[in-house]
């Protein structure tokens, strides 16, 4: 596998100067020599992977059979895979309920729809659905298993009429996109004037991110190119003419992030199998602390959940 890296300026403010935040390995290649660097912009404090693999060389990093978003296409699941799938089945109905509070039905575009379970859930409840997924095997699974309309195209290259969608969703997708500002602008064009963009991303300022440091699963180098906080997400939206209407933590994600971070630590431990229950217990406790810390600080308007769901709308035009 050839790894070509590119160095970038801050994707938010354009500054060249940054400070090293931490170094981490690819979680699918923990024994590998190579460490990826995550930096914090000296200007606006945005945290991102730098240098990063070029767009041409990134696809190799999505090919691990353990990569959770595409697990539906695999057989022979492990204990940890089953935890993931159980958590996901709980969250599917929850996602639908959040959206039906905004609108009872309409059209929805899911960016990075993976194997299509979320769109299938929405379609079953009367929504017109479209999906985008760059991973061919996952996209094909969504088409054949659920009969979904899924395009294997970059957003910039696909044609939808302006103002086509009531809702656009990015469930842990924005952090993977090479051009987040341009993507947000394009989504703004595709959104109806009263539509919503729902963006779920891990929160680098969460308790569990600070606790697990280089082993925090949501660093997910080099697949995660960016690490948002509520402040930097607000700034990104503003550059695209969008505004955050509300946001809150996703408690199930705290369990997923903490348990899977424990799994990374476990893989590095020779007595891993024996100690497995202890790691599981610590992950479970850390998730609870993360959730409650976020709730406590939430009252002071500082939400620090493991992952955050942002409800974004078009900024009203200045007249």
Applying CB under 5 A, the residues found at the interface with Zn ion are 10, 12-13, 15, 41, 43-44, 46
Yes or no: say if 210 and 263 are a contact pair by the CB < 8 Å rule: no
Yes or no: say if 35 and 10 are a contact pair by the CB < 8 Å rule: no
Question: CB of residue 45 vs Zn ion: minimum separation in angstroms?
Answer: 7
Question: CB of residue 10 vs Zn ion: minimum separation in angstroms?
Answer: 3
Question: CB of residue 283 vs Zn ion: minimum separation in angstroms?
Answer: 33
| Continuous H helices in the chain | 79-102, 117-124, 136-146, 180-190, 207-212, 230-239, 251-267, 272-298
| H/E element, 202 | strand 191-202
Question: CB of residue 232 vs Zn ion: minimum separation in angstroms?
Answer: 9
Residue 133 neighbours by CB distance under 10 Å: 28
Across 189-206, b (16+ Cβ under 10 Å) vs e yields ebbbeebbbbbbbbbbbb
What does residue 318 show for φ and ψ, rounded to 5 degrees? Answer: -75, 130
Question: CB of residue 235 vs Zn ion: minimum separation in angstroms?
Answer: 9
Q: Which is nearer to Zn ion, 64 or 239 (CB)?
A: 239
Q: Which is nearer to Zn ion, 3 or 42 (CB)?
A: 42
Q: Which is nearer to Zn ion, 47 or 294 (CB)?
A: 47
Q: Which is nearer to Zn ion, 43 or 106 (CB)?
A: 43
Q: Which is nearer to Zn ion, 12 or 218 (CB)?
A: 12
Q: Which is nearer to Zn ion, 41 or 254 (CB)?
A: 41
Q: Which is nearer to Zn ion, 4 or 16 (CB)?
A: 16
Yes or no: say if 163 and 192 are a contact pair by the CB < 8 Å rule: yes
Question: CB of residue 48 vs Zn ion: minimum separation in angstroms?
Answer: 9
| H/E element, 172 | none
- Name the token pair of 283: 């992950």
Cβ contacts of 115 within 8 Å, gap of 6 or more: 69, 70, 71, 72, 73, 138, 141, 142, 145
> Omega into 222 within 30° of 0, i.e. cis?
yes
Question: CB of residue 36 vs Zn ion: minimum separation in angstroms?
Answer: 19
């Amino acid at each position: 596998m050839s790894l070509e890296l590119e160095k970038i300026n801050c994707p938010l403010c354009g500054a060249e100067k940054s400070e090293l935040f931490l170094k981490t390995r690819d979680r699918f290649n923990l024994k590998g020599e190579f460490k990826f660097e995550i930096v914090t912009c000296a200007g606006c404090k945005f945290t991102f992977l730098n240098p990063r693999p070029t767009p041409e060389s990134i696809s190799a990093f999505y090919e691990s059979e353990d990569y959770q978003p595409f697990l539906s296409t695999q057989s022979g699941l492990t204990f940890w895979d089953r935890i993931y799938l159980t958590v996901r089945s709980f969250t599917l109905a929850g996602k639908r309920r959040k959206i039906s509070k905004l609108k009872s039905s309409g059209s929805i575009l899911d960016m990075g729809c993976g194997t299509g379970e979320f769109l299938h859930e929405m379609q079953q409840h009367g929504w017109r659905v479209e999906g985008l997924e760059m991973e061919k095997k996952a996209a094909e699974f969504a088409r054949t298993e659920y009969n979904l309309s899924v395009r294997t195209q970059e957003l910039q290259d696909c044609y939808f009429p302006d103002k086509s969608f009531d809702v656009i969703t990015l469930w842990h997708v924005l952090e993977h996109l090479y051009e987040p500002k341009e993507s947000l602008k394009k989504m703004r064009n595709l959104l109806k004037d009263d539509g919503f963009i729902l963006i779920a991303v891990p929160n680098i300022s969460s308790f569990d991110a600070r606790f697990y440091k280089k082993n925090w699963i949501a660093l997910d180098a080099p697949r995660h190119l960016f690490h948002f906080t509520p402040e930097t997400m607000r700034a990104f939206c503003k550059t695209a003419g969008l505004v955050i209407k509300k946001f809150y933590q996703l408690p199930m994600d705290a369990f997923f992030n903490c348990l899977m971070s424990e799994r990374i630590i476990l893989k590095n431990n020779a007595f891993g199998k024996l100690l497995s229950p202890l790691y599981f217990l610590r992950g479970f406790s850390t998730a609870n602390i993360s959730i409650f810390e976020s709730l406590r600080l939430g009252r002071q308007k500082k939400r620090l959940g493991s992952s955050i769901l942002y409800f974004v709308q078009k900024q009203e035009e200045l007249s």
